[in-house]
Amino acid sequence: MSNLLINVFTSGTDIVRRLQKILDDESSNFSNIVVNLYEAGIRYDTENGKQTFVDFIKENSDKRNISYYGCNFSNQPDLPLHFLNNMFHEGSDLYIKNEMCRGLLEQCVDVKDKSNDLPKFDLLLGGTTPTKDWLYDVLKKHKVCDKVFATYYRDDPKQGEWSSYVKVPVNHTAETIEDRWKSTLRYSDLIDPKIYNKTFYTALIETAFHEDFGVFTEKTAKPIVAKRPFVIFGSPGQLQALRSLGFKTFSTVIDESYDKERDMYKRFNMVLDTMLKLSSLDPKSVYTKLDEILQHNKNHFEKTDWNRQFRQQTRGSKKIDLFRFEQ
């Protein structure tokens, strides 16, 4: 029997129902089925309330010939879930092969040439969500606030901070820069040198977070390729998951105990406290101490053939693409 590849390009209850029907109908007709979760943080409605892709995988555990790939991780053990690096949809070597992206990195000022009086962190919150509303309000009341360059454009990208180096999206940063069907380079993939040149570190809020799983997107990728220390407003175990992928984190300088806290509100407050502690240190000394780690992470991200297993497992497979609307 042949193999089947199912690409899931979006989230939602309808998509999950269609995926479930395909698996029910086809699991006995193929030797192996690979489900590629382009939408890494899939959630859907059931009679028992909101569920996630982790629940979906567990509910289909009787189908032994199905494996799942995505740019995510699970805090649940023994799931047939494999990491697929599509943080940049154009590939992990985007800032090597793309001339425009290389030019953006070249415009970033070396830390030794920055004034210590600059804000220590950038925090780009982007489009509106209830969690971002809460975090933005908490940040404004926290002692670290005056150490952070924060933007939150909510529903209007024109209210964001954009330099002449990058283009301004129309509706949201997930839009592709060229024609939608000819390019997968998104506005959100672009490092803005204006932002990085006025700060030292990045505080990022990932696209989805949950006690059972986490995701990695371009938000994590950009400080890695720019060799910037960062903290993550994400899921519990987010840093541990990075380390399991071969990256190194910054515990020699940064208090990363927040990564173990299960409660989101406590965890996010701990991240703010960590930012305050790091802001009291000389940034040039911090970079010196973390130089080997920053270089390792950049090399590991850009030069690892992350998706070789996926390519081998899906070569020659029949393909089904699932979009929000039938194509």
Q: How confident is the model at residue 181 (pLDDT cuts 50, 70, 90)?
A: very low
Q: 166 pLDDT band (50/70/90 cuts)? A: confident
Q: What's the length of the chain?
A: 327
Fold for domain 3-84+307-322? Hypothetical Protein Ychn; Chain: A, (3.40.1260)
Name the architecture of domain 94-303.
3-Layer(aba) Sandwich (3.40)
Q: Is 17 left (phi over 0), alpha (psi -120 to 50) or beta?
A: alpha
- Where in the sequence of the chain do the CATH 3.40.50 domains occur? 94-303
- In sequence order, the β-bridge partners of residue 44 are 51
CA nearest to 149, candidates 161, 167, 164, 134:
161
Count of CB atoms within 10 A of residue 108's CB?
A: 18
| pLDDT surpassing 70 at residue 24 | yes
Buried (b) or exposed (e) across 15-42, using 16+ Cβ within 10 A?
Answer: bbebbeebbeebbeebebbbbbbbbbbb
Q: What is the pLDDT of residue 326?
A: 52
Write out pLDDT tens, residues 67-111: 999 999 999 888 999 999 999 989 999 999 999 899 999 999 999
How far is it, in rounded angstroms, from Cα 15 to Cα 35? 13
Mean pLDDT of 224-251: 98
Beta bridge partners of 215: 72
- Give dist(CA 287, CA 104) in Å, integer: 21
C-beta separation of 71 from 85 below 8 A: yes
**Residue ranges of the chain assigned to CATH 3.40.1260:** 3-84+307-322
Residue 318 has pLDDT above 80, yes or no: yes
Predicted TM-score (pTM) above 0.85: yes
Number of other residues whose CB lies within 10 A of the CB of residue 150: 17
SS3 percent helix, strand, coil of the chain, rounded to 5, is 40, 20, 45
What is the DSSP secondary-structure string of 78-140?
Answer: T--EEE---SSTT-TTHHHH-HHHHHHHHTSPPGGGS-TTS-SEEEE--B--HHHHHHHHHHH
Q: Pairing relation of β-strands 49-52 and 81-83?
A: unpaired
